[in-house]
Structure 1
């Protein structure tokens, strides 16, 4: 894929609908809404932060995340904190997208 081998040609038309915001793909602008699908966003939150973050409307990695509120005690750190993630990297998106795809395929 990295060398653009014709056997593994991936184009914007190859992306699954769950990667798009509201599942809508625009052939005129394939990047519009890409990687903003609710299933993908929730899966990223679940994978790298915590199950409780899935229901919040915050961005995946809000600024100041990891700071404690006054009087709050934490006993465990989420995966993003352990990995030192400050933003969601393309590899993290790809990892979660594959996990969601495989999970939906096997279900």
Structure 2
């Protein structure tokens, strides 16, 4: 964890991340299905920053890959990357809920 960060605050942020992420993933799935490159980019960027802030690097990195893909306009092959993001989120979700004692 980040030195000097209030752990109560960090736990609140982690919980918010966990509660928000399922709807963000749904939105990302819908945006990909519609071929909405701008929405994919925005969702991936937001998810990347959230993951980076709480220290889930692999999740953040996968979201960054999708963000870059969307920035270049090539989301046609993004379904596999979305599957990786979803699988990593399942792993992260379990770890973070355990960290929070739930």
TM-score between both structures, scaled by the size of structure 1: 0.29
Using CA pairs below 8 Å that are at least 6 residues apart, which structure has the higher relative contact order?
A: 2
Structure with a larger share of its residues in helix: 2
* TM-score normalised to structure 2 length: 0.30
